[in-house]
């Protein structure tokens, strides 16, 4: 039996037991990381440098790209290090830092909710778009998303690591995550953290309901557009966001709400990779494939870079 004061490190879930598979996972994570860094970096550069992309939709997309970079840099480097050097260790302070910086995942969810509101206003209330989503309003909404995620993470990190841990130091996840740390606690204040998680779940569920109800209104408005070309244009602006939300929310919901009877280490590992590692690499691809303005901005930026050389 041990408590949190005597724990100097945690043991993360290994991605594989065989050395060849560990190296394969390292290469896969390296490829995903490079793809995420390149894709999100290009989006940030294109939106920042392209004046024609200084609109609310691309402003929120820039913020989304920043959260994607934060997500990939929080979870993947340590997993790659452990796979390469055949170890499972992460220090106590490193685990706390990883839990805190997972606020990028919360910020991404909040930003996806705001982006849904942007799509709703642009399609259902186009005449009020400039009023409801002016530059100041967009800055305030983005700041609220970042601040809420920061406070959410700070509260949970401080509360989680104040709990005495007396059930070992092995985590059933390849990165430090609050539910897996709580399984090591034997304190009565454990229920306090569960209460905080319940409140957070209600808040996140409220965002989910807002997203669903907004898209119901959006689809109704799109189906009332008389021209087929107008419908196609409206759908094309929504499909990237809908695809990103579906991937992010569906994997997260299934991970935390699935029955314990189907909880297998390999399945849990695959789901955690799907909601924490894959979206940062796929989001730039989804948005750039369906958005002609963004593709034009990226093409112009690349051409200018070659011309300057």
Average pLDDT rounded to a whole number, residues 174-197: 75
Cα–Cα dist 205/222, whole Å: 26
Lowest mean pLDDT: which of 175-179, 189-193, 266-270?
189-193
Question: Domain range holding 258?
Answer: 4-308
Average pLDDT rounded to a whole number, residues 38-51: 87
Average pLDDT rounded to a whole number, residues 142-165: 88
Close Cβ partners of 23 (under 8 Å, ≥ 6 residues apart): 83, 84
Average pLDDT rounded to a whole number, residues 73-83: 89
Predicted pLDDT at 2: 46
Whether the Cβ atoms of residue 29 and residue 269 lie closer than 8 Å to each other: no
Predicted pLDDT at 168: 79
Q: Which two tokens stand for residue 111?
A: 């930003």
Count of structural domains within the chain = 1
Q: Roughly how many angstroms between the first and final C-alpha of the chain, as a whole number?
A: 63
Cα–Cα dist 273/55, whole Å: 32
Report for 4-18, 87-101, 179-193, 266-280: range of highest mean pLDDT: 87-101
Predicted pLDDT at 177: 83
Whether the Cβ atoms of residue 238 and residue 287 lie closer than 8 Å to each other: no
- pLDDT band at 1; cut points 50, 70, 90: very low
Instruction: Provide DSSP, 23-69.
Output: HHHHHHHHHHHHHHHHHHHHHHHHHHH-GGG-SHHHHHHHHHHHHHH
The two most distant CA atoms of the chain are separated, in Å, by: 69
Q: How buried is residue 139: exposed, middle or buried, by Cβ count under 10 Å (0-12/13-18/19+)?
A: exposed
For the cut 80, the answer to whether the pLDDT of residue 123 exceeds it is yes
Predicted pLDDT at 290: 64
For the cut 90, the answer to whether the pLDDT of residue 171 exceeds it is no
Q: What is the pTM of this model?
A: 0.86
- pLDDT band at 208; cut points 50, 70, 90: confident
Instruction: List the CATH number of the domain containing 75.
Output: 1.20.1070.10
Whether the Cβ atoms of residue 89 and residue 150 lie closer than 8 Å to each other: no
Torsions phi, psi for 88 (to 5 deg): -125, -5
Instruction: Give me the half-sphere count of Cα atoms (radius 13 Å) on the Cβ side of residue 216.
Output: 6
Predicted pLDDT at 260: 55
Predicted pLDDT at 170: 85
């Amino acid at each position: 039996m041990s408590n949190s004061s005597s724990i100097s490190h945690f043991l993360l879930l290994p991605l594989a037991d065989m050395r060849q598979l560990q190296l394969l996972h390292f290469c896969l994570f390296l490829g995903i990381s490079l793809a995420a860094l390149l894709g999100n970096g290009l989006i940030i550069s294109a939106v920042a440098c392209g004046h024609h992309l200084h609109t609310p939709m691309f402003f929120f997309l820039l913020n989304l790209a920043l959260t994607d970079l934060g997500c990939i840099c929080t979870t993947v480097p340590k997993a790659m290090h452990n796979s390469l050097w055949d170890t499972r260790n992460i220090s106590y302070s490193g685990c706390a830092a990883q839990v805190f910086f997972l606020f990028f995942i919360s910020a991404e969810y909040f930003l996806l909710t705001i982006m849904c509101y942007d799509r709703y206003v642009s399609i259902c209330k186009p005449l009020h778009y400039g009023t409801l989503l002016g530059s100041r309003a967009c800055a305030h909404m983005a700041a609220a998303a970042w601040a809420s995620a920061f406070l959410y993470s700070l509260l949970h990190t401080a509360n989680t690591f104040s709990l005495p841990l007396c059930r070992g130091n092995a985590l059933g996840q390849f990165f430090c995550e609050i539910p897996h740390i709580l399984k090591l606690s034997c304190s009565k204040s454990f229920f306090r953290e569960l209460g905080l998680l319940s409140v957070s779940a209600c808040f996140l569920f409220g965002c989910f309901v807002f997203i669903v109800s907004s898209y119901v209104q959006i689809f109704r408005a799109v189906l009332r557009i008389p021209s087929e070309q107008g419908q196609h244009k409206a759908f094309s602006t929504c499909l990237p966001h809908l695809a990103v939300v579906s991937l992010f929310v569906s994997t997260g919901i299934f991970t935390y709400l699935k029955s314990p009877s189907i909880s297998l280490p390999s399945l849990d590992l695959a789901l955690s990779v799907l909601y924490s590692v894959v979206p940062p690499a796929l989001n730039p691809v989804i948005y750039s494939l369906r958005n002609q303005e963004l593709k034009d901005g990226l093409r112009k930026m690349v051409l200018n870079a070659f011309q300057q050389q």
